[in-house]
Structure 1
Amino acid sequence: MVGIISYGAYIPRFRIKTEEIARVWGANGAEIAAGLGVREKSVPDFDEDTITMSVEAARSALARRPIDTSEIGAIYVGSESHPYAVKPSAAAVGEAIGATPVMTAADFEFACKAGTAGIQTGMGLVKSGMVKYAVAIGADTAQGAPGDALEYTASAGGAAIIIGNDDPIAEINHTCSFTTDTPDFWRREGQEYPRHGGRFSGDPAYFKHIQGAAKLMLEQMGTKPSDYDYAIFHQPNAKFPQKVSAMLGFTREQIKPGLAVPRLGNTYSGAVPVGISATLDVAKPGDRIFVTSYGSGAGSDAFDITVTDVIDSDAFDRSAGPTVEELLANPVYLDYALYAKHKGKILMQ
């Protein structure tokens, strides 16, 4: 059975409160901030990007479950904010964690579900026997134009999931996807900030695809929402995942452990991997986890996961890496000017 061997997350310590962003942009900004349910969001430091955050997340995963890195046969980094247009983030991550040179590496891009697409690809390679371990990472330093609704949520962070079949801490029972050509969010080559379809991003995009993949998973597995202990849905804000979970029949208690967005913001490709990490931080053997990601453009990946006894065994040490709760603690708050400087909206000479 293919499953999760280990996991690790990384979140920058810097934060900005959405009320501070609203202070700069006036009454309309305050209305936007109130409707999103996000109190604050993470901000990358000057020397942090998708590669550095991916390395930190992968190192955390390896600290929890030391494996021979020469046996990592694949590394995939999903992101909307790769530092280079032409040069793979995955190769740099592999070098940093000692997995090179015998591996396949690639950068994935499917808006906010690029990280879960990497998990699916890693599952296929492991299940076929082509590789022993695959590392799938979702990480972003998300972009949002000044004053746009995205600026109130676009944050930084990510998580790494190591896939294998050697005593996994959680078995991935099944995965399926639901994809259409729905242009709700896009950024053309050379453009600094993405554009979005506003309210169009809700019903015909996010909700349609999350429900499409989730209902397909329930049908294929012959399960119902009450069969799961936890549920994780893509979290672009706090409102959407709570609404879609209720539409599908899941409870607030099921989604609460993985709902980091009120204090983290939207890490784009990192959102669901971070949610998985936060849930595995508290999960017990036998717990069942329902996961559905979403990526604009548009598509969703769903997963049915069962936690195994290995998570509490001597083979795995959860305390060796920081939990998502620990990463969210002790923030350093920035005002809007320092935030703009950190994000490169104000260029240093």
Structure 2
Amino acid sequence: MSGDTGILSFGAYIPRKRLQRAAIYSTNAWFAPGLKGLAKGERAVGDWDEDVITMAVEAARDTLEGVDRATVGSLSLASTSLPFVDRLNSGVVKEALNLADGIAALDVTGSQRAGTSALLQALAAAAGGRGPHLCLASEMRKSRPASEAELTTGDAAAGLLVGAGEPVARFLGAHSVTADFVDHYRSAGMTFDYAWESRWVRDEGYMALAGTALQAALRSLAVAPEAIDRLIIPISVRGVAEGLAKQAGVRAEAVEDTLAANVGDAGVAHPLLMLAAALQTARPGEKILLMGFGQGVDVLLFEATDALDKLPPRRGVQGALARRFSDENYTRWLFHRGLLDLELGMRAEADQKQPATTLWRNRKAVLGLVGGRCAKTGVVQFPKTDISVNREERSAHTQEDHPLADRKARVVTFTADSLTYSPNPPSLYGMVDFEGGGRITVEFADVEGVDVEVGREMRMMFRIKAVDESRSFTKYFWKAAPVA
């Protein structure tokens, strides 16, 4: 592979639900009235069937819009809230994307700048001539009720396809600093972060450590501060991004929106999310400076290119922000985060054990939603079997892999079930037909505030099917969501 090294494509995912900060504050005001100043706007919250892995899959699908997935050579997933400690989380993402078994996959964690650090490593590998690398970052952190973090954080994921060729953003260089600045931490076994005093973090961490690194990066990269068209500072604390820009001599109008008002701080994913947002509106020739902060600083410099105009349309950050549902049910969100213990009833007592042998044998169908297409008759079916379901031609051993996850679907039948257990009742499910053939009965997702009817267009989304609480194992499958 030859050409410039940089970002070949980008994508993002923000959950549809936006929990209103006023709803959070109104419940906790009796105990923490001092949080009133943070009770404005909304934060993105994943539904009960979403986590870091499912959000990463959706960001990856957006990133790979118009890209031949067979060209992807490796992928990484950066997060500090990965669902599995000893299972390759990025490996589950790989299966859901139906990528080749021959690619490398890596989980990256341990710091809030894990996303930018993973991006740096991907760019370095791309310069060595390797195939495109799918760099993903996703975050869904828990926060203690009535804390600042509960109001300021948010859930989101972003993706960047990095490689050599015709990048939409050419990589011009980077500068990194590593220092054990403990603004917050979460030790093994802890549920919530422990944060230090905010004024000290602002003065010594953001303005001093990050400010010095930003100025050093401009010098080492030999770029004038006034030449920066877009400055991405993924720090949502009011005034910090503007203060760092002024300190470095970068124009105030170059500072990018931190998305604090309608997403919240998405942790590891936030630098890449803001970069994806910037690239969606960037013009060729613009210089984009990206910062990542966490036990040090990463600073990366990119230049947008003419290839942006050739990139196929995608939802991106703009589309994800537009696809929203205003949520004021704070209690439901606490329950979905495991922070409120409700009486679930006997119908919730079913054993959700996942036999590893069955999952292995059917991983393409379960995780990748790969069905079968009869090479003789063209009939599509799910699941793929040795004998075709065609009543006119019971052909045997003629099935070819037929991925269904990215095909359009329409509702054939549906049911709202209030008797079966669901973490978000009623349970809505039904049968959908795929464009080009094939049908499947699945659960529906993201249906609150949406009228579901026969014939409605649906989009398949990778979600949590169930959680085996006894063995701490998450089961994944695909669900149908209304097309916005």
In the alignment, structure 1 residue 307 sits paired with structure 2 residue 304: yes
Q: Tell me which residue corresponds to 1:221.
A: 221
Identity, % of aligned positions: 24
Q: Tell me which residue corresponds to 1:340.
A: 334
Picking from 6, 11, 32, the partner of 1:8 is 11
Q: Tell me which residue corresponds to 1:190.
A: 189
SS of the residue 2:210 aligns to: helix
How far apart, CA to CA, are the structure 1 residues paired with 2:286 and 2:191? 42
TM-score by length of 2: 0.67
Q: Tell me which residue corresponds to 2:234.
A: 234
Q: Cα gap change, 1:186/1:281 in structure 2, threshold over 3 Å: closer, same or farther?
A: same
How far apart, CA to CA, are the structure 2 residues paired with 1:284 and 1:30? 44
Q: Cα gap change, 1:29/1:147 in structure 2, threshold over 3 Å: closer, same or farther?
A: same
SS of the residue 2:10 aligns to: strand
SS of the residue 2:261 aligns to: helix
Distance apart, 1:246 and its partner CA = 2.9
User: CA deviation digits over 1:216-246, x for unaligned, max 9?
Assistant: 2100122222101111012244443233233
| Alignment: residue pair count | 338
Distance apart, 1:71 and its partner CA = 2.8
Q: Tell me which residue corresponds to 1:173.
A: 172
Contact 1:38 1:262 in 2 (8 A): yes
How far apart, CA to CA, are the structure 2 residues paired with 1:292 and 1:203? 17
Q: Tell me which residue corresponds to 1:331.
A: 325
User: CA deviation digits over 1:278-326, x for unaligned, max 9?
Assistant: 101100111111111112xx1111011100111112xx11x2x213122
Contact 1:141 1:155 in 2 (8 A): yes
What is the letter of the counterpart of residue 201 of structure 2? S
Q: Cα gap change, 1:10/1:30 in structure 2, threshold over 3 Å: closer, same or farther?
A: farther
How far apart, CA to CA, are the structure 2 residues paired with 1:341 and 1:347? 7
Picking from 17, 20, 35, the partner of 2:20 is 17
How far apart, CA to CA, are the structure 2 residues paired with 1:217 and 1:28? 44
Q: Cα gap change, 1:100/1:304 in structure 2, threshold over 3 Å: closer, same or farther?
A: same
Q: Tell me which residue corresponds to 2:315.
A: 322
Q: Tell me which residue corresponds to 1:266.
A: 265
How far apart, CA to CA, are the structure 1 residues paired with 2:39 and 2:7? 31
How far apart, CA to CA, are the structure 1 residues paired with 2:82 and 2:30? 34
Contact 2:133 2:162 in 1 (8 A): yes
Q: Cα gap change, 1:286/1:103 in structure 2, threshold over 3 Å: closer, same or farther?
A: same
Q: Tell me which residue corresponds to 1:80.
A: 80
How far apart, CA to CA, are the structure 2 residues paired with 1:95 and 1:185? 34
In the alignment, structure 1 residue 123 sits paired with structure 2 residue 145: no
What is the letter of the counterpart of residue 337 of structure 2? K
What is the letter of the counterpart of residue 89 of structure 2? S
Distance apart, 1:164 and its partner CA = 0.6
How far apart, CA to CA, are the structure 1 residues paired with 2:260 and 2:12? 14
SS of the residue 2:64 aligns to: helix
Q: Tell me which residue corresponds to 1:149.
A: 148
Q: Cα gap change, 1:20/1:30 in structure 2, threshold over 3 Å: closer, same or farther?
A: farther
Q: Tell me which residue corresponds to 1:110.
A: 110
How far apart, CA to CA, are the structure 2 residues paired with 1:324 and 1:312? 17
How far apart, CA to CA, are the structure 2 residues paired with 1:190 and 1:274? 28
Contact 1:185 1:201 in 2 (8 A): no
How far apart, CA to CA, are the structure 2 residues paired with 1:55 and 1:347? 29
How far apart, CA to CA, are the structure 2 residues paired with 1:135 and 1:37? 36
Distance apart, 1:211 and its partner CA = 1.6
Distance apart, 1:37 and its partner CA = 8.6
Quick check: 96-105 or 261-270, which moved more?
96-105
Q: Cα gap change, 1:233/1:143 in structure 2, threshold over 3 Å: closer, same or farther?
A: same
Q: Cα gap change, 1:93/1:209 in structure 2, threshold over 3 Å: closer, same or farther?
A: farther
Q: Cα gap change, 1:17/1:252 in structure 2, threshold over 3 Å: closer, same or farther?
A: farther
Unaligned runs of 5+ in 2: 345-484
How far apart, CA to CA, are the structure 2 residues paired with 1:197 and 1:128? 41
Quick check: 232-241 or 73-82, which moved more?
232-241
Q: Cα gap change, 1:337/1:173 in structure 2, threshold over 3 Å: closer, same or farther?
A: same
What is the letter of the counterpart of residue 334 of structure 2? A
Q: Cα gap change, 1:101/1:230 in structure 2, threshold over 3 Å: closer, same or farther?
A: same
SS of the residue 1:202 aligns to: helix
Quick check: 206-215 or 120-129, which moved more?
206-215
Distance apart, 1:345 and its partner CA = 1.3
Distance apart, 1:30 and its partner CA = 5.0
How far apart, CA to CA, are the structure 1 residues paired with 2:100 and 2:93? 9
Q: Tell me which residue corresponds to 2:428.
A: none
User: CA deviation digits over 1:97-132, x for unaligned, max 9?
Assistant: 233322221111132211111111111111112x21
Q: Cα gap change, 1:237/1:169 in structure 2, threshold over 3 Å: closer, same or farther?
A: same
How far apart, CA to CA, are the structure 1 residues paired with 2:202 and 2:232? 18
Q: Cα gap change, 1:118/1:217 in structure 2, threshold over 3 Å: closer, same or farther?
A: same
Contact 2:234 2:258 in 1 (8 A): no
What is the RMSD computed on CA atoms of the aligned residues? 1.9
Instruction: Give the structure, 1 or 2, with the largest relative contact order (CA under 8 Å, sep 6 or more).
Output: 1
TM-score by length of 1: 0.91
Q: Cα gap change, 1:171/1:184 in structure 2, threshold over 3 Å: closer, same or farther?
A: same
How far apart, CA to CA, are the structure 1 residues paired with 2:94 and 2:140? 20
How far apart, CA to CA, are the structure 2 residues paired with 1:37 and 1:309? 41
Distance apart, 1:187 and its partner CA = 0.7
Contact 1:112 1:271 in 2 (8 A): no
SS of the residue 1:164 aligns to: strand
Distance apart, 1:174 and its partner CA = 0.4
Contact 2:22 2:40 in 1 (8 A): no
Distance apart, 1:33 and its partner CA = 4.7
Distance apart, 1:28 and its partner CA = 7.1
Contact 1:172 1:304 in 2 (8 A): yes
